[in-house]
């Protein structure tokens, strides 16, 4: 072989070069692969110090394991390392304080707690081998797990010691019961910039002045196109379709088990944030509740275990006495991604969420069992779903025929007349026309549609016809009617845009003053609607309102301590004399009916109410104690955080998107 290469010196050099490149590339990729698979596990075993509390170290490995644990219980959701570190620092503060006061849990107490948490439901004796196997799988080492249990028991002993002097009086409990169970029928006006802007009518002079000052902002830098298009309405086609019970039954039978449900049952623990400055304390308390619950049964929480925690700590008066049980099943609604209850559908029965911040409250949710939905109850939804799918397919097929015809005839009227009967429409309903539009414009009946923009982009000459294009409620077959080149906009063609901007600008200036005028002009709750109407606003009603629930509708619904104090202090007929700031709104509230809490119900629940209030008060005292201790430790320099080590935990792994050196270019 060597003689062969000697005879072919150039070929030899070429082969050697190729071989060397292959070896280098192989080593590089082997090293990258090895790094990717080991980086995460190396960090999880790292003993590097990321923080210390009065000499008690927190390692990078412990922080990584905490992150991974939260991620597992949250369907892969990632949490910032700093957030996880705050919880571990709180745990170390409890450890240090428990040791200072001689309250560290003994070995016997730790063993008893472990046996209690790992108690077999069928009464079988404690299985040491199985226990050790499970602990190593979930926590990495037995020592780490048992230290966690020791910290938990020590923290409870510290809690009991610090709060041993906390008491509640009969008067306090009764007052709290009355406050949380008194019901109000309310009339209210929420004055917001968006709502107020709808009542404002700017003059042409104001609009022209704004346009002249901001003319450069309205320069049209791309060509504008006027589009005529034929519209094939999916809904109209769906109206003609015949769907039989047999079709619906077949659809029902094809549904997976998790889709044959009327919803899922759930439980909640709700912690209110009384003031913004208490956010971190409330979040810490919520995280502690989650941590305590998840140490049991491998993170699967029974209804009874969650109920015990909810009764003692939840601050929702409607569900806390029921063990946090939600009223009726929660229905899945993809249109409400911000709704915390929708998280239940990403969980398994018995799992709980991490603390979820929503409308000035922290929610901890537990998923229960699904509620089955029989065929008869599902028929209506199945009909809508099947009809929509079949209508879409039929509309797509018809739209293709319309497009083919229009490309041949270039006659939009003739094509509409030919296909209108098949589309279940009149020719005039099919023919639509836009103004002069450019990419990003909001087009009537279409909206801001990248698909429509893509469909009209190739149209350059008048009467060019595009392909069938999906739009809102159906398909469009576009044809270019006219075109304008880039230029300065004329006032009339941007007037509609300017109206919205000027209205909102004026509303932002006027919103608080308008709210004050409505409040000042209202003598009673019954007169609130008329006072609102006089200012172009609308009063709304909310029946059976109880303190602690949000006032309003949709995502703007909220509450505050100031609002609740004002409502509770009013009798029927009263109205707030000054507006109350609630989120982005100013609110004026009147009480049309007040139903005070039933004292007979108080007598029935007296013992549990005492227990709940005492538990809440103790939790608040202990939380304040930990916050004060943390502040004292920080001021004294007892808490040290090593930013370089902390940054490693959140850094993307080598080879992951966004990681340095994640791409190799040859």
- Tens digits of residue pLDDT in 82-94: 888 988 999 999 9
Measured distance CA(529)–CA(535) in Å, rounded: 10
Q: Using the 8-state DSSP alphabet, how is residue 299 labeled?
A: G
Give the H or E element holding residue 393: helix 375-409
Measured distance CA(387)–CA(393) in Å, rounded: 10
Measured distance CA(583)–CA(550) in Å, rounded: 11
Q: What CATH architecture does domain 261-372 belong to? A: Roll (3.10)
Under 8 Å between Cβ of 602 and 180: no
Write down the pLDDT at residue 409. Answer: 96
41 band by pLDDT with thresholds 50, 70 and 90:
low
Nearest to 223 by CA among 459, 432, 447, 445: 459
Are 220-244+379-487 and 261-372 in the same CATH fold? yes
Statement: residue 14 has pLDDT above 60: no
Domain map of the chain by residue range?
A: 183-202+494-595, 220-244+379-487, 261-372
421 band by pLDDT with thresholds 50, 70 and 90:
very high
Statement: residue 9 has pLDDT above 80: no
CATH of domain 220-244+379-487: 3.10.50.40
Highest mean pLDDT among 58-72, 115-129, 539-553: 539-553
636 band by pLDDT with thresholds 50, 70 and 90:
very high
Residues contacting 543, CB < 8 A, separation 6+: 185, 186
Write down the pLDDT at residue 410. Answer: 96
Is the full-model pTM beyond 0.75?
Answer: no
Task: Output the average pLDDT for the chain.
Answer: 86
Give the distance, in angstroms, between the CA of residue 500 and the centroid of all CA atoms in the same chain.
29
Statement: residue 538 has pLDDT above 50: yes
Cα 314 to Cα 182, 267, 516, 601, 613, distances in angstroms: 18, 11, 36, 19, 10
**Phi then psi for 126, rounded to 5 degrees?**
-60, 130
Q: Work out the percent of the chain whose per-residue pLDDT is above 90.
A: 57
Mean pLDDT of 99-120: 89
Q: Using the 8-state DSSP alphabet, how is residue 561 labeled?
A: H
Statement: residue 74 has pLDDT above 80: no
Handedness of CA 645, 650, 653, 655 (dihedral sign): negative
Statement: residue 228 has pLDDT above 90: yes
Q: At what angle do helices 60-73 and 81-100 cross, to 10 degrees?
A: 120
Mean pLDDT of 350-354: 93
CA atoms within 13 A on the CB side of 48: 16
407 band by pLDDT with thresholds 50, 70 and 90:
very high
Write down the pLDDT at residue 72. Answer: 65
Point out the least confidently predicted range of 82-91, 297-306, 519-528. Answer: 297-306
Measured distance CA(43)–CA(62) in Å, rounded: 9
Point out the least confidently predicted range of 108-122, 464-478, 582-596, 602-616. Answer: 108-122
CA atoms within 13 A on the CB side of 293: 31
Q: Using the 8-state DSSP alphabet, how is residue 266 labeled?
A: E
Write down the pLDDT at residue 615. Answer: 86
Write down the pLDDT at residue 24. Answer: 42
Write down the pLDDT at residue 127. Answer: 79
18 band by pLDDT with thresholds 50, 70 and 90:
very low
CA atoms within 13 A on the CB side of 632: 9
**Phi then psi for 4, rounded to 5 degrees?**
-60, -45
Mean pLDDT of 406-420: 96
137 band by pLDDT with thresholds 50, 70 and 90:
confident
Point out the least confidently predicted range of 280-294, 348-362, 649-663. Answer: 649-663
């Amino acid at each position: 072989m060597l003689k062969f290469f000697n005879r072919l010196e150039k070929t030899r050099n070429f082969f050697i070069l190729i071989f060397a490149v292959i070896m280098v590339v192989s080593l590089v990729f082997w090293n990258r692969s090895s790094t990717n698979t080991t980086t995460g596990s190396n960090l999880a075993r790292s003993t590097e110090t990321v923080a210390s509390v009065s000499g008690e170290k927190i390692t990078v490995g412990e922080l990584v394991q905490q992150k991974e644990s939260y991620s597992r219980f949250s369907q892969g959701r990632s949490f910032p390392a700093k957030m996880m570190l705050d919880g571990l620092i709180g745990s170390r503060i409890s450890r240090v304080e428990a040791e200072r006061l001689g309250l560290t849990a003994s070995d016997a107490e730790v063993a008893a707690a472990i046996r209690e948490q790992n108690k077999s439901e069928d009464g079988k004796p404690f299985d040491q081998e199985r226990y050790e196997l499970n602990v190593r799988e979930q926590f990495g080492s037995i020592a780490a797990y048992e230290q966690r249990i020791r910290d938990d028991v020590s923290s409870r002993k510290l809690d009991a010691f610090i709060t041993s002097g906390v008491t509640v009086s009969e008067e306090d409990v009764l007052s709290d019961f009355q406050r949380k169970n008194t019901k109000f029928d309310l009339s209210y006006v929420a004055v917001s910039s968006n709502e107020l802007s709808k009542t404002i009518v700017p003059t042409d002079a104001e609009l022209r002045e704004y346009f002249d000052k901001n003319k450069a902002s309205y320069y049209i830098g791309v060509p504008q196109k006027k589009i005529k298009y034929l519209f094939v309405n999916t809904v109209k086609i769906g109206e003609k379709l015949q769907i039989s019970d047999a079709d619906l039954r077949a659809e029902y039978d094809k549904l997976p088990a998790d889709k044959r449900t009327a919803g899922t049952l759930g439980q909640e623990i709700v912690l209110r944030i009384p003031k913004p400055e208490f956010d971190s304390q409330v979040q810490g308390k919520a995280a502690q509740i989650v941590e305590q619950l998840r140490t049991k049964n491998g993170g699967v929480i029974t209804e009874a275990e969650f109920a015990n925690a909810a009764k003692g700590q939840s601050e929702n008066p409607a569900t806390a006495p029921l063990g946090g049980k939600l009223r009726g099943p929660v229905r899945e609604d993809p249109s409400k991604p911000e709704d915390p209850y929708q998280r239940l559908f990403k969980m398994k029965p018995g799992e709980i969420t991490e603390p979820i911040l929503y409308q000035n409250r922290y929610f901890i949710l537990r998923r229960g069992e699904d509620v089955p939905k029989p065929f008869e109850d599902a028929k209506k939804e199945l009909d809508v779903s099947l009809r929509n799918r079949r209508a879409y397919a039929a509309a797509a097929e018809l739209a293709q025929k319309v497009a083919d015809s229009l490309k041949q005839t270039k006659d939009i009227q003739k094509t509409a007349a030919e296909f209108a009967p098949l589309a279940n429409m009149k020719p005039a309903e099919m023919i639509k026309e836009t103004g002069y539009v450019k990419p990003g414009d909001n087009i009537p009946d279409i909206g801001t549609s990248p698909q429509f923009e893509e469909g009209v982009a190739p149209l350059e000459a008048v009467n060019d016809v595009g392909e069938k294009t999906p739009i809102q409620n159906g398909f469009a077959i576009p044809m270019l009617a006219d075109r304008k080149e880039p230029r300065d906009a004329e006032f009339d063609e941007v007037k509609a845009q300017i109206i919205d901007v000027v209205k909102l600008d004026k509303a932002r200036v006027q919103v608080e003053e308008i709210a004050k005028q409505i409040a000042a002009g209202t003598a009673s709750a019954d007169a609130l609607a008329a006072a609102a109407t006089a200012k172009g606003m609308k009063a709304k009603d909310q029946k059976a309102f109880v303190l602690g629930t949000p006032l309003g509708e949709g995502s703007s619904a909220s509450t505050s301590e100031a609002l609740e104090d004002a409502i509770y202090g009013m009798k029927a007929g009263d109205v707030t004399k000054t507006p109350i700031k609630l989120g982005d709104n100013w609110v004026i509230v009147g009480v049309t009916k007040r139903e005070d809490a039933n004292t007979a119900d108080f007598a029935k629940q007296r013992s549990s109410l005492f227990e709940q209030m005492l538990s809440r008060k103790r939790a608040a005292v202990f939380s304040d104690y930990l916050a004060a201790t943390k502040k004292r430790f920080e001021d004294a320099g007892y808490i040290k955080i090593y930013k370089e080590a902390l940054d490693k935990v959140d850094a993307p792994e080598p080879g992951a998107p966004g990681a340095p050196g994640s791409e190799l270019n040859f």
